[in-house]
């Protein structure tokens, strides 16, 4: 049985470089950085003092009734903004005959910031209001149950972005959330495509949202020695594929796309941005804290995605080009990740690998954790639409173990018809998507 074709009709993101597809894309192509000193909390005593924060963002501008979402935590705020952007671009907000029972959501969304800080502040406020005297325990518990437990603790659950998006858009189809670390939103898009292919939905809102920019998040990754600890310029700290790389820079935000059947999109006269054609997933089955050294899991995910797309990685196109024209790398800037991803790409594409441009936008906006994959898929779609490849910034000193074309330090014009996006999650979860230029029905 032939697969239902799945197309992309809407995109939205909220990132450390801003929000709005065109505005952020312009900054990416220019090689601008969203990394700076942490302002969310006092990080001066931490080994890492910088991150890529979302700034100057008010999610309420996107909402029909902001009061419905007044307790939304940051991850949900980012998700709402990105989802509404994508929804509006798709034109579904103006489609009167939409069957909302046939519209689903699949997110790879991480948990919200922990509620302990709000609890402490509320407790302190109560203590100060009493003039430094003890507060009646029953009154405190009642207030805590209503305000902290019901709102703060519930809203930090990983499925809250999904529920808020469902409420805002009024969609009632299949609803899923996964949290497979840094591969989560790539998995969400891929699984959303499979839901459409098997006929369980006509439209899916797919993507992810996450923030770990709080003391516990930064402490955890510092203890894992995964973050860059440079004390010089924050903007040059994220150095994917560079010999001097010393870890990733944490980012935050959200990326969302609208995917639907080709028939559904054509029937309503939608503008089709690209076609989603392949998805692959694998596990390293190695160690929780280390990537499989030969990149076998990453290679398996790429090969499965290419096979799903009907692409032979070793066969040149009639015009002589490789079958993939751009790879959005996972490219975190850690020693092991970048060299192993390079090895995996070479293992998949063989002699053609050096001809395929590869870049990592994490060099400019940091690592958005669960949201990274969806944001990077949008990068692939934009490369197809605009003919620009975003650069890998801060790549000054070549690493002999990283010997591919990483579009170093300057964006590049290129004809991109087919692109591949990699996401490799902590613990050995690997997901890859393949997207191509829509060439008609």
Name residues whose C-beta falls within 8 Å of residue 197's C-beta, 6 or more positions apart in sequence.
3, 4, 6
> CA–CA separation, 151 vs 170, rounded Å?
21
Out of 287-291, 388-392, 427-431, least confident range: 287-291
Helix (H, G, I), strand (E, B) or coil at 108: strand
Question: If 0-12 CB within 10 Å is exposed, 13-18 middle and 19+ buried, where does residue 65 land?
Answer: exposed
Percent of the chain with pLDDT over 90: 84
- Of the pLDDT bands very low, low, confident and very high (cuts 50, 70, 90), residue 377 is very high
Give the helix/strand (H/E) hosting 339: helix 335-349
Q: Supply the mean pLDDT for the chain.
A: 92
Q: Which of the pair, 355 or 291, is modelled with greater confidence?
A: 355
Q: ∠17-75-271 over CA atoms, to 5°? A: 65
What does the pLDDT read at residue 1?
A: 54
Helix (H, G, I), strand (E, B) or coil at 248: strand
Contact 376, 183 (CB under 8 A): no
Contact 210, 374 (CB under 8 A): no
What does the pLDDT read at residue 153?
A: 62
What does the pLDDT read at residue 111?
A: 82
105-127 pLDDT per residue, tens: 999 998 878 765 544 454 444 44
What does the pLDDT read at residue 139?
A: 52
5-43 pLDDT per residue, tens: 999 999 999 999 999 999 999 999 999 999 999 999 999
- Between strands 103-109 and 175-178, the pairing is parallel
Angstrom CA distances, 409 to 197, 326, 379, 394, stand at 39, 16, 16, 6
> CA–CA separation, 12 vs 204, rounded Å?
14
Looking at the chain, how many residues does it have?
A: 441
What does the pLDDT read at residue 119?
A: 47
What are the E-state strand segments in 128-231? 175-178, 203-211
Query: Domains in the chain, please, with CATH?
Result: 6-114+156-436 (3.40.47.10), 116-153 (no CATH)
45-84 pLDDT per residue, tens: 999 999 999 999 999 999 999 999 998 999 999 999 999 9
pLDDT > 50? residue 91: yes
* Across 416-421, average pLDDT: 98
199-213 pLDDT per residue, tens: 999 999 999 999 999
Highest mean pLDDT among 66-80, 223-237, 316-330: 316-330
CA nearest neighbour of 416 among 440, 441, 381, 391? 381
Contact 167, 175 (CB under 8 A): no
What does the pLDDT read at residue 138?
A: 53
Residues involved in catalysis: 182, 330, 367
Residues 231/232/237/243 CA torsion (nearest 10 deg)? -100
Q: Check residue 106 and report its DSSP letter.
A: E
Name residues whose C-beta falls within 8 Å of residue 425's C-beta, 6 or more positions apart in sequence.
180, 181, 182, 183, 184, 431
Task: Please give the backbone phi and psi of residue 327, each rounded to the nearest 5 degrees, phi first.
Answer: -120, 120
249-262 pLDDT per residue, tens: 999 999 999 999 99
Residues 397/400/405/409 CA torsion (nearest 10 deg)? -10
Contact 252, 211 (CB under 8 A): yes
What does the pLDDT read at residue 155?
A: 78
> CA–CA separation, 105 vs 189, rounded Å?
10
- DSSP per position, 38-83: --SS--TTSS--EEB---S--GGGG-S-GGGGTT--HHHHHHHHHH
Q: Check residue 380 and report its DSSP letter.
A: H
Angstrom CA distances, 302 to 108, 254, 319, 349, stand at 19, 24, 23, 10
> CA–CA separation, 170 vs 167, rounded Å?
5
């Amino acid at each position: 049985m032939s697969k239902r074709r799945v197309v992309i009709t809407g995109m939205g993101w909220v990132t450390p470089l801003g929000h709005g597809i065109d505005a952020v894309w312009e900054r990416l192509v220019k090689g601008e950085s969203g990394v700076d000193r942490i302002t969310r909390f006092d990080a001066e005593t931490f080994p890492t003092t910088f991150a890529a924060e979302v700034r100057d963002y008010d999610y309420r501008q996107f909402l029909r009734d902001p009061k419905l979402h007044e307790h939304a935590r940051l991850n949900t705020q980012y998700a709402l903004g990105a989802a509404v952007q994508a929804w509006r671009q798709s034109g579904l907000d103006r489609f009167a005959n939409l069957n909302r029972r046939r519209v689903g959501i699949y997110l790879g969304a991480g948990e919200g910031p922990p509620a302990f800080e709000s609890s402490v502040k509320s407790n302190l406020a109560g203590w100060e209001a009493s003039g430094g005297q003890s507060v009646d325990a029953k009154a405190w518990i009642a207030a805590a149950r209503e305000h902290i437990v019901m709102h703060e603790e519930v809203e930090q659950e990983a499925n809250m972005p999904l529920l808020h998006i469902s409420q805002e858009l009024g969609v009632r189809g299949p609803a899923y959330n996964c949290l497979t670390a840094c591969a989560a939103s790539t998995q969400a898009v891929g699984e959303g495509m499979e839901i459409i292919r098997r006929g369980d939905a006509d439209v899916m809102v797919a993507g992810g949202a996450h923030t770990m920019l709080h003391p516990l998040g930064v402490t955890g990754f510092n203890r894992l020695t995964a973050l860059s600890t440079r004390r010089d310029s924050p903007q040059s700290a994220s150095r994917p594929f560079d010999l001097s790389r010393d870890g990733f820079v944490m980012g935050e935000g959200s990326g969302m796309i609208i995917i639907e059947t080709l028939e559904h999109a054509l029937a309503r006269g939608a503008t089709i941005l690209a076609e989603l054609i392949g998805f692959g997933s694998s596990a390293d089955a190695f160690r929780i804290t280390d990537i499989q050294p030969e990149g076998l899991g990453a290679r398996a995910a790429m090969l499965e995605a290419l096979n799903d797309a009907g692409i032979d990685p070793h066969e040149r196109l009639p015009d002589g080009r490789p079958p993939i024209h751009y790879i959005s790398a996972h490219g975190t800037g850690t020693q092991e990740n970048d060299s192993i991803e390079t090895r995996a790409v070479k293992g998949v594409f063989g002699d053609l690998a050096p001809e395929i441009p590869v870049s990592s936008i994490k060099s400019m906006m940091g690592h958005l954790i669960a949201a990274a994959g969806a944001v990077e898929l949008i990068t692939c779609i934009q490369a197809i639409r605009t003919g620009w490849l975003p650069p890998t910034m801060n790549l000054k000193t070549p690493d002999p173990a990283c010997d591919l074309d990483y579009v170093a330090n300057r964006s590049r014009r290129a004809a991109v018809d087919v692109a591949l996006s990699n996401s490799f999650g902590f613990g050995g979860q690997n997901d890859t998507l393949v997207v191509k230029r829509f060439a008609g029905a």
